[in-house]
Chain A
């Protein structure tokens, strides 16, 4: 089972509401305007996401993971190429010194940034689609894309994948957010989005 173009387009709108909230929270934290945009939403296999990231030269990634449960259960994984995650933390901290690696404290800062983004995105979805979720605290994972994504299940599993563009000052960073969904969760997502689309017409 997968989602139609129309359903995915609707999700692009819904996700952009969520990242809008995240952008204002992150701007406040950075003391600078943070712009976020979700240009596309796709259904891909984990392998597909992994290939896309690897094609961009992101062998090793830094991920922030959170679980959400309710009508549908999902693990949300926000991923950045390691180099970009360093830039992101540096920008948010407002530090001039380039970071060489993510220490314990920088990882925690990244977890906070991811937490703000994931909570806002999922709240946005919950508000628009009239769903209720429970969430977990974020945790950080570092490693090759396959290892981070393939920790559970198989690489053939379908995921809902969002590209998220960050812009802070002159810096532009691309992140990927995937929602791991089991078959039942894809089905309930599909029926929720359909009901939403019908409510609009």
Chain B
């Protein structure tokens, strides 16, 4: 069913067989850009027969090629005589090639990498006219593989920002995000609040009930923070051992204080017994709130130091309470 090679040619006896079994598409065009040969791979993947193609222009057979970048490149290549590459990235699938006829009605076009090679000056001498061949490689697998790798890379990147114990963000996420959030305060003209929480008498808790119980306590406290700070822009991270930080964009002091007090209340309500505590019978938190108002210059480092200081002020003042600093200086 294939186009015969030029009759009477002195090509080797195996050439037709090789061309027909190549695992890539091959088209040969004459000087008028009419198809004079299409290999079996190309016919199988287009679902065409040789007579439907031979002696016809490519855009007569494939309507979608009319006015396409492929046709433009073909014309340029033939005019200049220089080999030309069409990448999958810039032209995903110029030809209607499918893995099998069954997939024709599905959206399973093969991704194609195409090379257009006009016969060079030295070869034209041994030909009756200047031929051009088009080589089409199926790169669908490579495209899928790269897509998978990229997806995995972004997944790994996301994982690198997660605290394994609590499932909250980690210190790295805070360090990466805070500078941008601080810059936005000036840009958007809205206050940024930071709340730092610390579990009271956590060392005693661990000493009394063991580290596994301590881990569980941290997870439960983290759960409360996740529940209270649930606006999409809120960022909650485990800052260090038993210190958790919430970064709240577009949040004024009053709201931040209310939310912090809500967290303290909900943690007391968990009623996790802590016999080592000297302020309550159950696990409690101390918290500090710092607010960065628009128009005030501050750095992420300063802001963290301030919130750390007010949190320690809450500790000194007797724990189980929220302290604040009205404006980050």
Q: Which residues of A contact B (CB under 8 A)?
A: 25, 28-29, 70, 89, 92-93, 103-106, 108-109, 111-112, 115-116, 119-120, 122-123, 132-138
Q: Which A residues are CB-close (under 8 A) to B142?
A: 104-105
- The reply to whether B69 and A115 contact each other, CB–CB distance below 8 Å, is no
- The reply on B24 being an interface residue by CB < 8 A is no
Given contacts A25-B76, A132-B121, contact A123 B89 (CB under 8 A): no
C-alpha gap A157/B79 in the complex (Å): 33
Q: Which residue of B lies closest to A137 (CB)?
A: B83
Q: Which A residues are CB-close (under 8 A) to B115?
A: 137
- The reply to whether A112 and B80 contact each other, CB–CB distance below 8 Å, is no
Q: Which B residues are CB-close (under 8 A) to A132?
A: 121
- The reply to whether B76 and A119 contact each other, CB–CB distance below 8 Å, is yes
C-alpha gap A90/B80 in the complex (Å): 28
Q: Which residues of B contact A (CB under 8 A)?
A: 69, 72, 76-77, 79-90, 113, 115, 117, 120-122, 139, 142-143, 146, 149-150
Q: Which residue of B lies closest to A92 (CB)?
A: B90
- The reply to whether A119 and B84 contact each other, CB–CB distance below 8 Å, is yes
CB distance from B71 to the nearest CB of A (A): 12
C-alpha gap A105/B143 in the complex (Å): 7
- The reply to whether A111 and B85 contact each other, CB–CB distance below 8 Å, is yes
C-alpha gap A116/B83 in the complex (Å): 10
C-alpha gap A28/B68 in the complex (Å): 10
Partner of A119, one of B82, B88, B117: B82
- The reply to whether A105 and B87 contact each other, CB–CB distance below 8 Å, is yes
- The reply to whether A134 and B122 contact each other, CB–CB distance below 8 Å, is yes
C-alpha gap A188/B149 in the complex (Å): 49
Query: Could you pull out 16 A-B pairs where Cβ atoms are within 8 angstroms?
Result: A29-B90, A70-B121, A103-B146, A105-B87, A105-B88, A106-B89, A108-B85, A108-B88, A109-B87, A115-B85, A122-B80, A133-B81, A134-B81, A134-B122, A137-B115, A137-B117
Q: Which A residues are CB-close (under 8 A) to B80?
A: 119-120, 122-123, 135
CB distance from A126 to the nearest CB of B (A): 8
- The reply to whether A123 and B90 contact each other, CB–CB distance below 8 Å, is no
CB distance from B5 to the nearest CB of A (A): 24
C-alpha gap A116/B77 in the complex (Å): 10
- The reply to whether A104 and B146 contact each other, CB–CB distance below 8 Å, is yes
Q: Which residue of A lies closest to B119 (CB)?
A: A134
Q: Which B residues are CB-close (under 8 A) to A70?
A: 121
Q: Which residue of A lies closest to B114 (CB)?
A: A112
Q: Which residue of B lies closest to A108 (CB)?
A: B87
The 8 closest A-B pairs by CB, nearest first: A135-B82, A109-B89, A108-B87, A112-B87, A134-B120, A119-B82, A123-B80, A109-B87
